Structure formats: C-alpha cells, structure tokens
Amino acid sequence: MTGHILPVPDEMSAPYWDACSRHELKLAHCSQCAKVTHPPDVTCPNCHSIEPDFVWKQVSGHGRVRSWTVIRQSFLSGFELPFLLVDVELDDHPDVRLIGRLIDGADTPLTLGDAVTLTFDDLAPGVAVPAFVMAGKS
C-alpha cells in the first residue's frame, strides 16, 4: 500500500496490532461494562471505570460509510496519491467509527450508508492496518 508510517505499539495497543498482523480486527471491550471502545484509553469512556481491564475480542468489521475524503495532497510523506479514506460506522458497534483506506480506488463512487467490509493493508512484514472494501467486491 500506500504509506511508510508504521504504528509503534505500546502496552495498551499491542493486542490490537498483534491481531492486525494476522489480519484480524480486535477491539477493546471493557471488563466492567462490556462495551467496546476505540481507541482504548486509560479509563472506559462508557462507564468511566478506572480499571477497564480491556478484553480484546474479534469483530466482523462490517460497516456503513458515514463519510469519506480523497487525499490528493498529503502533509505526510511516502503515500501514493490519490487515495480514498472512508469513515466507517461498524454494524455491530455503531458507537465505534474507524477510518481506513478504501482499496477499491480513489475514484470509487460512494453514497452515505454504502456497505463495506474489512480488509487489511500490509505496511511491512508483520505490520498491517485495517482498510475497507466495498461489500460484495472482495
């Protein structure tokens, strides 16, 4: 893909990036209220527990396009231009919205609510970032 910016996993995010490297999307579930949050925080933004003890569980990644933009000029170096980013509301967790590249291409016609499914962009050996593809076109 596109970028040369690699995530630096930390104590909180390591399980997420581990799962991504296996092309699985895992999200943080609060062990107190069971709700999903992304990205994980030092507390649970839903129940405000200071001991959320997040449990990482795989999610489908099916979602709906809430918005998008085509990046034709970037302030970051190393990206192949243009590329299209979608803002995706997850079907199973509507409070969670992810932003990822739509791999169908920068000129893909879109309307609000279009269905997308999860895929991954491999950034480097063992490093992948969630991306999306129009549903039914994987």
Contact set with Zn ion (CB under 5 A)? 30, 32-33, 44, 46-47, 49
Q: What is the smallest separation between the CB atom of 28 and another protein, expressed in angstroms? A: 11
Name the residue among 48, 22, 18 with its Cα closest to residue 33: 48
Give CA–CA dist 40/72, Å, rounded: 30
- Residue closer to Zn ion (CB basis): 44 or 102: 44
Six token digits for residue 5: 């910016």
Indicate which single residue of 10, 51, 109, 136 sits in contact with another protein (rule: CB under 8 A). Answer: 10
Give CA–CA dist 21/123, Å, rounded: 10
In the complex, the residues that contact another protein under the rule CB under 8 A are: 2-10, 13, 17, 37-39, 41, 45, 66-79, 83, 85, 87, 95, 97-101, 111-112, 121, 123, 129-131
